[in-house]
Amino acid sequence: MTQFPHTRLRRTRMTAWSRDLHRETSLSPANLIWPLFPTEGHDQEVPVGTMPGVSRLSVDRLAKAAKEAASLGIPAVALFPHTSPARRSEDAKEALNPDNLICRAIRAIKDAAPEVGVLTDVALDLYTSHGHDGLISDSGEILNDATVEMLVGQSLNQARAGCDIIAPSDMMDGRIEAIRAGLEGDGFHNTQIMAYSAKYASAFYGPYRDAVGSGGVLKGDKKTYQMDPANAREALREVAMDIEEGADSVMVKPGMPYLDIIRAIRDAFDVPVFAYQVSGEYAMLEAAIAAGVLDRGKGVLEALMSFRRAGCSGVLTYHAPLAARLMGA
């Protein structure tokens, strides 16, 4: 008779209670951040064609979404405003307007659901007429230092409106140190910075750009400031710099195509790591679900579990409300 080894790894998999007992990684609504797209108007819900199930929401509807997040146990929302072309300009001056769309959205959410954290994107692409994250010289170069000065003003504008986490996604050099100094100097000692430390020049951002209105205006690409998808060690240098400059947490973007980067950062640094399951990832999952080749509930939760297994403290995902309901079922 064939002799088997004493260790049989299937033993602990044989029953549901045993699988629960031996599960190495947990996933709960507390690990989710829900990205939302503010838009102008009242009682507006405008579907984003390239992101099935996702809509731009007017400020009054954002307040309702924040209450929904609270009821589902989702601890934070992230805001990415759809800025109308009339308010976009070469110098992105709308980013500094204390009554701009994102500032009104922050105040409405904090009034409606003060227990929900509000994360705000800091980059100029939401306000520039050319769709880039920074100011541009006459020769077409993205100006690092002049952009950083604007980013500090944008951060302070959003902090004054009541946001809890500043999330710079621009990938300019030195911006974390400058923003941290600006926040401290203005008395915002407890405002967090979640740095987009490893943000790649990815093909997966297209639907997002449709959602915020920058896709049709973007001139060229963002390869001179976002990271090359071929590079991994460079991501560790970016993270090290952002931690040294004062980041409270770091982010990898996109998510699933960069799980190796998440794991490398988590192993190298004792700092919370987040990931953004970006619009292209969401759209791919939704396309597979619509085609009948992926079970919605199982597929969504398995994808999110992969981030946790790789080392993420949390995930920005458009599937946040669905996932929270599935976990609460």
Query: pLDDT per residue over 67-89, tens digit each?
Result: 999 999 999 999 999 999 999 99
Residue among 93, 110, 199, 219 flagged as catalytic: 199
Does the pLDDT of residue 23 top 80, yes or no? yes
Distance CA 312, CA 35 (A): 17
pTM: 0.95
Q: Which of 67, 110, 253, 298 is catalytic?
A: 253
pLDDT at 2: 67
- Dig out the tokens for 258 from the structure: 């960069």
Three-class DSSP labels, 260-315: HHHHHHHHHCCCCEEEECCHHHHHHHHHHHHCCCCCHHHHHHHHHHHHHHHCCCEE
Instruction: Tell me the pLDDT tens digit for each residue of 101-123.
Output: 999 999 999 999 999 999 999 99
Q: Enumerate the β-bridge partners of residue 167.
A: 121
If you classify domain 26-328 with CATH, what class do you get?
alpha beta
DSSP for 138-177, written as a single string: TTS-EEHHHHHHHHHHHHHHHHHHT-SEEEE-S--TTHHH
Which helix (H) or strand (E) segment holds residue 55: the answer is strand 55-58
Q: Alpha helix locations (H) across 28-143?
A: 59-72, 101-112
Question: Could you give the CA distance from residue 278 to residue 73 in angstroms, rounded to a whole number?
Answer: 21
Do the annotations mark residue 238 as ligand-binding? yes
Residue 199 appears among annotated catalytic residues? yes
* 273-276 and 249-253 beta bridge pairing: parallel
